[in-house]
Structures are given as C-alpha cells and as structure tokens.
Amino acid sequence: MLRITDARTGQPVDAAPARRGLTRVEVHAPGSDTTNLRVLLVGDLLVRTLELGGTPVWALLTGGHRQAELRARAATLNIRPFEDSPDVGASLGESQALHVAAQGGAPPDGVLITVAPVQTDPPGHGDPAALRLALLTRHHSAPARPEAADVDGARATLARWRTAVARWARQPSRPIPDDVRGRLRDAWEDDLDLPRVLDVLRQVETRPDLADGARFETYAYADRLLGLDLTRDLGAPS
C-alpha cells in the first residue's frame, strides 16, 4: 500500500483508505511556472499510483488566474486533466483528502505532500517527455535543477528506451518476474520514490537472465505510472 510522508507531521501515513473508498487528491498550484508544473506532476503521479492500487480518486486542481497556462503546459507533459476545485465544503463523500502543494503551502485539511521548487528554468525545446523524465529523476522532496544537459540526457534515455521497447515487443511475451514487480511497487509505494523506479528499469534493461518479452512487459507496466509513452514506437520500422 502506498505510504507518503505527511508534511504536517513528518510521519508516514497510508495514502489510501483501508476499504478503498474514494480519495480526494487536491493539487494547489496558483501559478504556471515550472515549480507549479512540478506540483501538478506530483499530483498526477499520486493519482496514477492510487489507481494502480485499486483506489478510486477524485482529482482536483485549485489555483489562481494562471490556470489555463498551467493546464496547457501540463498537457504537453502527459499530465492527465484535473477537475476544477469546487466550492469549499463540496464533497462526494470521500474517505480521505490528500493535498499536494509547493513547500511553504498549507491547505486547511487532510494529509499534505509538499514539493520542492524547481530552481532553474529548463529549456523548452524538443520532446516534452524529456522534461517529465528529467523531473522524475529527483525525489519530489528535493529541489530540482534541470539544466540543458539533464534534459538532453533524458531525451537520449527516452530514445533508447522507446527503441528497445519496440524491439522487445517483437519477441514472445513473458511475465514480469515477481522480484522485479515487487521492487517496482516497493519503490513507488514508498513515498513516490520515482528515482528508485527508474533505477529498477535501468537494471532490467541490461539484466542478462531476462527474456526480451519480460523486459517489454516490465517497461509497459511501469509506464502506467511514469507516463513517458515508452510504447510509442511499437510497430515502427526497425
């Protein structure tokens, strides 16, 4: 089960109700800069993780006058749409409320996940998924500094992984090894430790005892959380 650190107490808490009741994930992003984009990205990862675990989610975005610009930037990073936040007090009978905000923000109720700032303005050219990957390489509690070299490195990694996934897909499918599936879930259920998820994928890429069909299934499974379109090149000419 996903456990996250509640910034209000500093203690880990279960992010999903015991009976899988509806969880409200509310992202507080009043601007459209890259820090607010990162806050929304962490909200997206939280929603994806809960849904992978079978928890129904009500995803909301609370913010200021730059929401249209933020949503447009979010769409390029494959961040799924969030509903506009309703009036205070509106409810669908959710069992738990989880809030995601930049460090220093303190919404009024529920568990709080804080996101460290993005300290440099990243380059905006090329595949936006490269920026998403560059941001995923740092835990959300640590400041991010995605320099041009970092985004270029992420772009090269994406190209290599997409080519490999398309090649592996041409081989007979094989199940994800239990130890690999367990390590992936242990990583993302441990306070959304995405850098550890990426480490598992790097090991799977070169692990000599794995069939290519198992590598494909592993990458496709992990991409349900990562949202990097790793299967984008399936069927492309080799």
What pLDDT, on the 0 to 100 scale, is given for residue 122?
Answer: 76
pLDDT in tens, 213-227: 999 999 999 999 999
pTM for the full predicted model = 0.93
Residue 212, phi-psi category: left (phi > 0), alpha (psi -120 to 50), beta (remainder): alpha
pLDDT at 86 over 70: no
